[in-house]
Structure 1
Amino acid sequence: MWQWLVRLYHRLGSPKWFYEMTERWIFWLALAAGGSAIVGLVLGLLYAPADYQQGDSFRIIYIHVPAALLAQSAYMMMAVAGAVYLIWRMKMAAWVAKVIAPVGAAFCLIALLTGAIWGKPTWGTWWVWDARLTSMLMLLFLYFGVMALQQAMESEEASYKAGAILALVGLVNIPIIKYSVEWWNTLHQPATLKLTEKPSMHPDMLWPLLIMIVSTYLFFALVVILRTRNEILWHERKRQWVRKILES
């Protein structure tokens, strides 16, 4: 098993192998992401019962929670890719970190906007300087900072290195986001899903949420793969195998 993982790690570091292998994944990822999104949204918006306190306004949870979870996960993936680049100088890791940054920032922005829309009928205001909201806003700024550093220097290597260092430093914000509702008295409700506790949601509400979370991660994987393939074509454009692809 360990040898297989090591072999896979080295293969993923090969731009040519990654490009050729992911060609097979794109259609199925798109089909799975689109199909699960349709199922999740139909179940969540049309069939899930209204919340006894929030009414139908709670249904934004099917966009808000998956986006918020993905924004945090994407940041951790970006930081790990940055660490791999810093330690082993694997160029594929730097490209993956680069393409994750704007995708993660987009989902973070979606989480903040849908949270504001949800907060208006629930709290009576679009925004409060709540610990959870403020730490999520800091996450968005960290994404922007990483993207800026990745483009700021003439040396591509130095830009990747600076972005990776900031991404690793910013990891301290992830546990703050997660535990902010427990460490401080906040308006934001506690976590909807916990691995150590039975979900409090009714199954008719819970299953659409789980499906939407899976759909969001599948969509994220699809977008990152497509963007990474573009990075490969750009950086490897002088190689013979890329020229053949572009010519065809």
Structure 2
Amino acid sequence: MTIRARIAPVADTVLPGFAFVAMLAALACVFLYVPNERMQGAVQRIFYFHVNAAWSAFFGFGLAALASALFLWRTDATYDRLARAAVEVGMLFCTMVLCTGPIWARPIWGTWWTWDPRLTMTVILWTIYAVYLVLRAMGEDDPQIARYAAVLAIVGVLDVPLIMVSVRLWRGMHPSVISAPAGQGGIQDARMIVALVVTLVAFTSLFLWLVWRRFEALRLEDELRALEDDVDALGGRATVGGATAPRPASPGVGAGAGRAATTRRRRPLALTTSAAGARA
């Protein structure tokens, strides 16, 4: 039994339900359970979404870097699909970070945006993986492009630890939220810790479920293209009553157009040494 076969029952049945319940619990904690922060008031509640969105983005880019390294080492398309799924979902959460940050900053800093070191490096991180997605879109089925993208995913993740320590390395407006003193955005109440842990579990489970669904979609796309190639390998001919006859063209499509459509059809990413490896 493959690793995917072991994971699928849990990922398809248990994980979505768990993520849903955890997210409901997180919302209840944030809006009904935790007290207001003394200095920032109710607006500080966005902290629980902002921080955990950042965690999910960092987790996604780290997972993508690991999968990309395995892809370059083993040349297995399974790892490439995992890396791509992790980047796409990580970008979703990274965008959430860049949206919730200004909403939090406006009433606290008096401005929507400032080129604080942490904010600037987060924008750089977002840009790196946006380039990754553009690269994949331009050469989705090109093995060489896949390798370039894998290298970019590995290089890009080096920005994550710099973001995490930027508050201590460079002077900026962004606070060190979790370790800050009371009255400066730090965690002051045990209920805040509970809410932070619950939202962390909720965001992580949601992230894992989204990555799994995207990974499965990419796997099915590759299998569909492989089946299309098997049909193309037959020369576009069908067997009727023991005799071989040309396959009928689609309505309204001439022979020349049919050949052009076949030529334009995307090819699967042939990176594994066996078909079984590609569909693992």
Instruction: Give the TM-score, by structure 1 length.
Output: 0.84
1:35 and 2:42 are equivalent in the alignment: no
Mapped pair 1:114 → 2:100: yes
> How many pairs align?
221
1-structure distance, mates of 2:135, 2:81: 14
Is the 1:41–1:62 contact (alpha carbons within 8 Å) kept by the matching residues of 2?
no
Structure-2 residue corresponding to 1:244: none
Question: Which residue of 2 is the match for residue 223 of structure 1?
Answer: 210
CA offset at residue 26 of structure 1?
A: 1.9
Partners of 1:213 and 1:102 lie apart in 2 by 20
Considering only aligned residues, what root-mean-square deviation do their CA atoms show, in Å?
Answer: 1.9
Q: Which runs of 4+ in 1 moved over 3 A?
A: none
> How far off is 1:149 after superposition?
1.4
For 1:201 and 1:231, locate their aligned partners in 2 and report how far apart those are by CA, in whole Å.
Answer: 44
In the alignment, does 2:210 pair up with 1:209? no
After superposition, the C-alpha distances for 1:154-175 in whole angstroms (9 at most, x for unaligned) are 6431221111111111122111
- Say if 2:177 and 2:187, in contact at 8 Å, map to a contact too: no
Richer in helix (by share): 1
TM-superposed CA distance for 1:201, in Å, is 3.4
**Structure 1 unpaired stretches of 5+:** 1-7, 13-17, 240-248
Aligned residue in 1 for 2:276: none
Deviation at 1:23, TM superposition (A): 3.5
Structure 1 counterpart of 2:14, one-letter code = W
Structure 2: gaps spanning 5 or more residues? 181-185, 228-280
Offset at 1:176?
A: 1.0
Contact 1:41 1:208 in 2 (8 A): no
TM-score (norm 2): 0.74
Is the aligned partner of 1:233 residue 2:212?
no
Query: Which has the larger displacement, 21-30 or 160-169?
Result: 21-30
CA distance, structure 2, for counterparts of residue 165 and residue 180 of structure 1: 24
- Residue 188 of structure 2 aligns to which amino acid in structure 1? M
Q: Do structure 1's residue 134 and structure 2's residue 101 form an aligned pair?
A: no
Tell me the distance in 2 between the aligned counterparts of 1:158 and 1:51.
51
Determine if contact 2:140/2:146 at 8 Å carries over to the other structure: no
The code of the aligned residue for 1:222 comes to: W
Q: 1:95 aligns with which of 81, 85, 101?
A: 81
Cα deviation code 1:71-109 (max 9, x no counterpart): 111111111111110111111000011112221111001
Greater Rg, structure 1 or structure 2? 2
Within 2, Cα distance between the matches of 1:201 and 1:170?
A: 34
**Residue 152 (structure 1) shift:** 2.0
Partner of 2:137: 151
Aligned ranges for residues 55-74 of structure 1 at < 5 Å? 55-74=41-60
**TM superposition shift of 1:30:** 1.0
Alpha-carbon distance between aligned partners in 2 of 1:77 and 1:20, rounded to the nearest angstrom? 19
Aligned-partner SS, 2:157: helix
CA offset digits 1:27-68 (Å, max 9, x no partner): 211111111111111111112111100000000012101001
Q: What residue identity is the alignment partner of 1:152?
A: M
- The letter of the residue matching 1:79 is A
Q: 1:125 to 1:82 in 2, by over 3 A?
A: same
